Amino acid sequence: MRILFLGGTQFVGRHMVEAALSRGHTVTLFNRGQTHAELFPEVEKLRGDRDGGLQALEGRRWEAVIDVNGYVPRLVRASAELLRGSVDHYIFISTGSVYDFNRFPPGGDESSPLEKLEDETTEEYHGPAYGGLKVLCEKAVQEVYPDQRLVLRLGVVAGPHDPTDRITSWVRRVARGGEMLAPGAPERPIQYIDARDLANFTISAAEKGLAGIFNTTGEVQSWGCFLEACKQASHSDAFFTWVDDDLLFQKSLASEQEFNTSLPMYVSAQEAHVWTMNSDKALAQGLVYRSTLNTARDILAWEKTRPAGEGRRAGLSPELEQKLLLSWRGPELR
């Protein structure tokens, strides 16, 4: 199968390209050549820009396109319209952020209420409009490809080469060992998908011509099981002090950005349902999850290959972690 990737050299796309090549498919990459341009020297690379620079895609033919980096509805529509008639199957990589989490039920599925933008003309996707813009991107693909289109709604994605550090930071912290602040309560849910599992499902779906909308958000597990698997992967002596005090976190972390960066994946008990998104529909079509133990082991192996300081953008500093633990233990501060 000939597969065109729009993007394909960042984290999620990189694993999808690797999966496609491992299964014997012919891959073409279309991007600006600004991110990891050295990857995949064996594949065809077309240079261009989604914003007015799609000429390299004209007059070509592929069985499927996988749109990994569509964020602005205008640009997604332009790509879909240009490729109509040149590509049989349009696969759009979307996000679970399309759901309106104020109305999202525990275990919500693909029929759950969606975000709606007040200003549908905005193209500022780094921020609150991200989910609403993805809703409009999905709509654009559906209108151009009403039948042969597949939309995958991702949650948090983990694994080697993850630039977000959300899961990686916890794996790394557990490996360091010693007393560790564990946020919330051990029975609270956490949810992510390994990038390799997502990639395998995506390429399998392309092979089958799968159409429709599918959540691909990963297995729901408890924080306690997650951290214990990380401990097993690293053979560390970590032990967990569970801190369930939103007010303490808010007083100690100056901004929402610092909160999210210092305690990635943590949400309050009232918001915990966001980590219970239902992916049964994708599981019925062949999505398979590897264990947290395997993901954690592979993340640790990748960590050893990274230059010191590269990309490590999340997690509590040792100093702040100790401050929070002392505050949690000090009754006069609680």
Please state the domain count of the chain. 2
**CA 53/CA 34 separation, integer angstroms:** 15
* 91 lies in the same domain as 176: no
**CA 228/CA 182 separation, integer angstroms:** 11
Do 177 and 237 touch, CB atoms closer than 8 A? yes
**CA 262/CA 264 separation, integer angstroms:** 6
What pLDDT, in 10s, does the model give residues 76-104?
999 999 999 999 999 999 999 999 999 99
The per-residue pLDDT for 333 is 45
Which of 154, 177, 206 is the last residue in one of the domains?
154
**CA 153/CA 215 separation, integer angstroms:** 5
What pLDDT, in 10s, does the model give residues 10-65?
999 999 999 999 999 999 999 999 999 999 999 999 999 999 999 999 999 999 99
What pLDDT, in 10s, does the model give residues 253-281?
888 888 889 999 999 999 999 999 999 99
Tell whether 214 is covered by a domain.
no
pTM: predicted TM-score of the whole model, two decimal places: 0.95
Residue 127 to residues 71, 88, 109, 123, 276, Cα–Cα distance (Å): 12, 33, 24, 10, 23
* 325 lies in the same domain as 262: yes
Range of the domain at 55: 2-154
Residue 57 gets which letter from DSSP? G
- Tell me the CATH number at 27: 3.40.50.720
Cβ-Cβ contacts under 8 Å for 261 (sequence gap 6 or more):
313, 314, 315
